[in-house]
Structure 1
Amino acid sequence: MNIRIIAVGKLKEKYLTEGIHEYIKRISPHAKVEITEVPDEKTQDHPSETELKIIKDKEGEKISRYLKEGTYLIALDIRGKNLSSEEMAAMLQDLGVKGKSDLTFLIGGSVGLADHLLNKAGFRLSFGRMTFPHQLMRLILLEQVYRAFKINMGHPYHK
């Protein structure tokens, strides 16, 4: 399986980088993981709806440049479907069985993802209604992907 994460913003925090590298190492026997960062757009305090749309569209165009033909898109979206760890494991296993072994997860910037990317996604995944820093979401996502592989192997890691 090939897993790509395309994320808005540069990761600067060492503890997050170390955690991400650890989970990529843990996932590596099961899947190849690649992370692509795209620059975020500057956001003013209290932007208008029009300004938010412009920012999302600009970031969305940057993301679109890295999308590969035939990849299955999973957009992280607060309005998406909230899955348990077991449900996520089943979804990843089902995608693999259906021949969708090239997955791309999209993580937007602080204002979210552009509508055209959300509409293009095969699945919108929510990690709940809480707001998380988008840089932290990379680590949370990778931990859940690792957990999914362990669940699918019958390993007790996730308990």
Structure 2
Amino acid sequence: MKITLLTVGKIKEKYLKDAIAEYSKRLSKYCKLEIIEVADEKTPDNASEVVENVIRDKEGERLLKYVKDDAFVITLEIKGKMMTSEELAEKIDTLGIRGVSHIMFIIGGSIGLGEDVIKRSDFALSFSKMTFPHQLMRVILLEQIYRSYRIIAGEPYHK
């Protein structure tokens, strides 16, 4: 299985880079992992809804350039479905059984995803009703993907 994280913005903080590197290394045992970063747009303070939509659309165009037709796309959205770790593991496992060989997880920028990206999504996933920094979300998502593969393999994991 190939897993792609398609994300807006670059990681600047060393502690986040270190965590991403660690989970990338751990995941190499289970899947082929690819992380693609696209440039983010500067969002002015107190930006209007119109300006925010333009920004989301620009970032969305950049993201969609990398989305493969045969990929199963999972977008991270506050309004998405919340799942337990076991349910996410089952989702990944079931997709593999159904013959899906490429899952793309998309993490938007600081103001979320554009409408075209949401339309392309095959599944909307939410980690919480709370908002997290999109850079930190990469680490959380990678940890959960790693946990999913441990569950699928019947290996121990911390509950």
TM-score range, shorter chain: over 0.9
Which secondary structure does the structure 2 equivalent of 1:157 belong to?
coil
Does structure 1 residue 9 correspond to structure 2 residue 16?
Answer: no
**Cα distance, 1:51 vs structure 2:** 0.7
Aligned equivalents of 1:50, 1:121: Cα separation in 2: 23
Offset, 1:73:
0.4
TM-aligned CA deviation for residue 119 of structure 1: 1.3
Please, what TM-score do these two structures have when normalized by structure 2?
Answer: 0.98
Deviation at 1:69, TM superposition (A): 2.3
Residue 40 (structure 2) aligns with? 40
Q: Deviations over 1:87-137 (max 9, x none)?
A: 000000000000112010100000000111111111000001111100001
Tell me the alpha carbon deviations over residues 13-53 of structure 1, each in whole angstroms, 9 at most, x when there is no partner.
11111111110111111101010111100101111111111
Instruction: For 1:82, give the aligned amino acid.
Output: M
Quote the residue 2:52 is aligned against: 52
Q: Percent identity?
A: 52
Give the distance between the partners of 1:152 and 1:34, measured in 2 at CA.
20
Structure 1 residue 31 corresponds to structure 2 residue 57: no
Task: Give aligned pairs, total.
Answer: 159
List aligned pairs for 1:79-98, cutoff 5 A. Answer: 79-98=79-98
- Partner residue in 2 for 1:144: 144
SS at match of 2:74: strand
Q: Tell me the equivalent position of 2:126.
A: 126
d(CA) in 1 for partners of 2:101 and 2:86?
19
What SS does structure 2 have at the residue aligned with 1:80? strand
Could you say what the CA RMSD is over the residues aligned between the two structures, in angstroms? 0.8
Q: Which runs of 5+ in 2 are unaligned?
A: none
How many Å separate the matches in 2 of 1:85 and 1:78?
17
Question: Given that residues 9 and 38 in structure 1 are in contact (C-alpha distance below 8 angstroms), is that contact kept between their aligned partners in structure 2?
Answer: yes
User: Are the counterparts in 2 of residues 82 and 127 from structure 1 also a CA contact under 8 Å?
Assistant: yes
SS in 2 for 1:158: coil
How far the C-alpha of 1:64 sits from its partner, in A, is 1.1
Mapped partners of 2:65, 2:44: distance in 1: 25
